[in-house]
């Protein structure tokens, strides 16, 4: 299989680029928007597949976390001035040290393990994306939509213009479940890799926002209750 890292670094999703092209002619009829990453994330197949990846590839995920912790320990050993970064002098001093050699080995190992986990997720996304076209066409025909755009291509649209949830619902019927173990010789589809990138960005942003909200709630809970001003004479 081609290096998934290389594909992740260069892929772009063609269907989104096409949908982002402004319409040159006036359209008579209903115009709708569809958020492709949100469509896939909302499907039952996607949620189940990501949970299964966490279980099936638990050994790889645990190994990645362990190697990352080991890397942090090794980097601290090379950080002689304890400023949490390696300056040029520290990098030169670290060359050919046992720690540096081990860090290189860890990087290679983590890359191989991450490639297995990411391949499973991309494979799941690819299977869902394969049915996106029929699902979209089904909703378009049912609602008599004349033009479909991505939200990025629209300056303003009312909430009811979105058919994202309807397409996701149609996908639940067309592809109720997907496999997470790629077959021998499988090559990831570039469009699926590009969509996977967008999905991962959404998930990371959602996790960061959730962490911020939890931290804010904890800070609010630690604050002493406001004292009420005395009343009366």
pLDDT tens readout for residues 60-99:
999 999 999 999 999 999 988 888 888 889 888 889 899 9
Look at 26 and 52; give whichever has higher pLDDT. Answer: 52
Mean pLDDT of the chain: 87
- 14 located within any domain: yes
Whether residue 25 is predicted with pLDDT greater than 80 in this model: the reply is no
- 191 located within any domain: yes
Whether residue 180 is predicted with pLDDT greater than 60 in this model: the reply is yes
- 226 located within any domain: no
CA atoms within 13 A on the CB side of 173: 10
* Domain residue limits at 64: 4-20+29-218
- 114 located within any domain: yes
Q: How many domains does the chain have?
A: 1
- 53 located within any domain: yes
pLDDT, residue 12, reads 43
Distance between CA atoms of residues 54 and 66, nearest Å: 16
The pLDDT > 70 percentage for the chain reads 83
Whether residue 220 is predicted with pLDDT greater than 60 in this model: the reply is yes
Sole residue written with tokens 């590839």 = 57
Whether residue 211 is predicted with pLDDT greater than 60 in this model: the reply is yes
The beta-strand segments (E) located in 105-189 are 145-149
Whether residue 222 is predicted with pLDDT greater than 80 in this model: the reply is no
Whether residue 233 is predicted with pLDDT greater than 60 in this model: the reply is no
Which residues on adjacent β-strands are paired with residue 147? 31
pLDDT, residue 28, reads 63
- 33 located within any domain: yes
- 231 located within any domain: no
- 147 located within any domain: yes
CA atoms within 13 A on the CB side of 137: 6
The pLDDT > 90 percentage for the chain reads 70
Residue closest to 32 by CA, chosen among 129, 181, 185, 158: 158
What does the radius of gyration of the chain's CA atoms come to, in whole angstroms? 24
Indicate the pTM of the whole model.
0.78
């Amino acid at each position: 299989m081609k290096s998934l890292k290389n594909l992740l670094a260069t892929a772009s999703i063609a269907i989104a680029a096409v949908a982002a092209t402004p319409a040159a002619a006036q359209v008579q009829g209903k115009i709708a928007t569809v958020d492709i990453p949100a469509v896939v994330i909302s499907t039952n197949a996607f949620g189940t597949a990501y949970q299964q990846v966490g279980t099936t590839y638990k050994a790889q995920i645990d190994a990645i976390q362990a190697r990352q912790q080991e890397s942090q320990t090794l980097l601290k050993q090379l950080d002689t001035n304890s400023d949490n970064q390696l300056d040029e002098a520290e990098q030169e001093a670290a060359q050919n040290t046992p720690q540096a050699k081990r860090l290189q080995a860890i990087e290679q190992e983590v890359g191989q393990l991450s490639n297995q986990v990411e391949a499973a997720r991309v494979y799941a996304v690819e299977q869902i994306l394969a049915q996106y076209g029929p699902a979209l066409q089904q909703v378009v025909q049912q609602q008599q939509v004349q033009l479909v755009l991505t939200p990025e291509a629209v300056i303003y649209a009312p909430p009811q213009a979105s058919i994202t949830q309807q397409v996701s619902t149609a996908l639940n019927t067309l592809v109720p479940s997907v496999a997470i173990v790629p077959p021998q010789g499988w090559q990831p589809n570039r469009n699926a890799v590009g969509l996977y990138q967008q999905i991962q960005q959404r998930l990371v942003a959602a996790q960061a926002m959730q962490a911020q909200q939890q931290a804010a709630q904890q800070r609010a809970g630690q604050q002493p209750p406001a004292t009420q001003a005395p009343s009366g004479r």
